[in-house]
Amino acid sequence: DKLPAAEAERLGLIWQCVDDEALPAETQALAERLAAMPTRALVATREAIDAAQTLDFDTALQREQQLQRVHGHANDYLEGVSAFLGKRAPRYTDR
């Protein structure tokens, strides 16, 4: 059966459902939020998600541990923590 987008959103099958007229503005807003985030961390997150689809649970956890070990010492991580503690917007530089 066909499933309306609003129902798919309610069920958690899709992230967000927006009206056609709102799509360009929502897309732009999402792009701006992503562009302001730490690029390397986003790439590592995506790679971990992609890899986890073909790995067993223990191997996926080991991969995540390796990524956290590397990125937990990155300048962007330290900047994010500092910005949070300072109650300011982060200024990421590891592009």
pLDDT digits (tens, 9 = 90+) for 24-44: 999 999 999 999 999 999 999
Cβ atoms of residues 68 and 62 within 8 Å: no
CA angle, 70 then 75 then 77, to 5°: 70
> Region 44-66: what's the mean pLDDT?
93
State what percent of residues in the chain have pLDDT above 90: 88
Mean of per-residue pLDDT scores for the chain:
93
CATH number attached to the domain at 38-95: 1.10.12.10
Residue 6 has pLDDT above 80, yes or no: yes
Determine the pLDDT at residue 95: 75
Residue 55 has pLDDT above 90, yes or no: yes
CATH 1.10.12.10 in the chain is located at: 38-95
